[in-house]
Structure 1
Amino acid sequence: MHAQPVLPLRIETERLILRPWSEDDAPALRSLWAERDPRARRRITPDGRPTVDELREQIHDAVTAQERTGLALLVVEQRSTPGFAGYCGLVVGQATEAEPELAYELLRRIHGHGIATEAARALVAAADVAGWTRLWATIRDWNAPSRSVAGKVGFRESGRIDRDAERGDSLWYVRDAGPR
């Protein structure tokens, strides 16, 4: 039994299915890592890490952690094109289990179709129903599309900024639970 709220492990919308990870998602996750902006912290290193096998281990560890915490980072799939399109979920990240962080990222070919907004909106609604009262998101100042998604699903800038001259400042967004 969790002292914290528990996020459902499957969320469906008109166009999307948010589902648990499978180790079979590791190659697509590695593709996502490979196409990240050079300023992103987690990227494929010059020596090729993480490997697909290392990402499989990370997926296994994440699934184990979600059983313990009630938080979940879910794979985003489009109903029209099954398979890994990205992820969306709640993580501890730079926040806490009691006030987790919303995280989302999609493969570049998926950008520009409202998929991130639809996934984040469904995830935030599920978090409200589950009982979280406050959510956070940290977004690099240069990432205007992610900042836009956060605003569309009810987040606002909190005023907190983590300065980073190398990768860009991280802006903290906050969202208090809506009506239940």
Structure 2
Amino acid sequence: MTAAVTPGREVVLETDRLLLRPWRVAEAVIQRELWTERDPRVPPHRRIDADGHPTVAELEDSIRTDHPSSIGLLAVERKAARDVIGYCGLIDGGRESPREPELAFELLRRSWRQGYATEASWAVLDWARLSGYERLWATVWDWNTASRRVLTKVRFTETERKEVDPTHGTTLLLTRRL
């Protein structure tokens, strides 16, 4: 994995097959596709609502106003195909401390089961370690076995903490020392 921070403090990570970089406005359609593919068990505020929000235009505005920083969700681009297939990065999970952000990833269904989420996660973990983070968190629904497998592969371990939601499922809290 190689990492670079561009003048605006934009993080760019590269693996053998992937480039993780800031989102471009034209890629709002990919973000919208991610929203449309979400499992119906995902809470409504993370899915397209009855009025069709967020729209592509709203997602474009979000990309335009997102200020580059050392924490955020990076577009995952396949280098060979030059297409964006989802995101991976760090978010302020608000779990324990600002120095312990949360790993997050989501890929389009057509790119599942090819190791991209694991590869992107390793790149983010390597970058986080080089940036001085000592521990990361992750949350995952108990029913999301694919994401749980990815988190296991990148050596996250489940904690005793769980958030039970009878409608959407139990959210598991995992952690990893870097």
When normalised by structure 2's length, the TM-score is 0.89
Any stretches of 5+ residues in structure 2 without a counterpart?
Answer: 1-8
Residue 42 (structure 2) pairs with residue 40 (structure 1): yes
Q: Which residue of structure 2 lines up, in the alignment, with residue 50 of structure 1?
A: 54
Match of 2:103, SS state, is strand
Change in 2 beyond 3 A, CA 1:142/1:15: same
Q: Which residue of structure 1 lines up, in the alignment, with residue 89 of structure 2?
A: 89
Asked whether the 8 Å contact 2:100–2:135 carries over to 1, the reply is yes
Per-residue deviation at 1:113?
Answer: 0.4
Aligned ranges for residues 94-109 of structure 1 at < 5 Å?
A: 94-95=94-95, 96-109=97-110
Asked whether the 8 Å contact 1:92–1:101 carries over to 2, the reply is yes
Query: What's the % identity of the aligned pairs?
Result: 46
After superposing on structure 2, the runs of 4+ consecutive aligned residues of structure 1 that deviate more than 4 Å are: none
Match of 1:54, SS state, is helix
Asked whether the 8 Å contact 2:10–2:22 carries over to 1, the reply is no
Rounded Cα–Cα distance in structure 2 between residues aligned with 1:108 and 1:51? 20
Match of 1:38, SS state, is coil
Rounded Cα–Cα distance in structure 1 between residues aligned with 2:106 and 2:133? 22
The superposition leaves residues 14-65 of structure 1 with CA deviations (integer Å, 9 ceiling, x where unpaired) of 010101111111011101100110111201112111001111122234x31x
Rounded Cα–Cα distance in structure 2 between residues aligned with 1:113 and 1:174? 24
Per-residue deviation at 1:8?
Answer: 6.1
Q: Which residue of structure 2 lines up, in the alignment, with residue 60 of structure 1?
A: 64
Residue 74 (structure 2) pairs with residue 74 (structure 1): yes
Match of 2:77, SS state, is strand
Match of 2:84, SS state, is strand
Match of 1:27, SS state, is helix
Rounded Cα–Cα distance in structure 2 between residues aligned with 1:82 and 1:160? 39
Asked whether the 8 Å contact 2:73–2:90 carries over to 1, the reply is yes
Q: Which residue of structure 2 lines up, in the alignment, with residue 13 of structure 1?
A: 15
Any stretches of 5+ residues in structure 1 without a counterpart?
Answer: 1-6
Rounded Cα–Cα distance in structure 1 between residues aligned with 2:94 and 2:153? 22
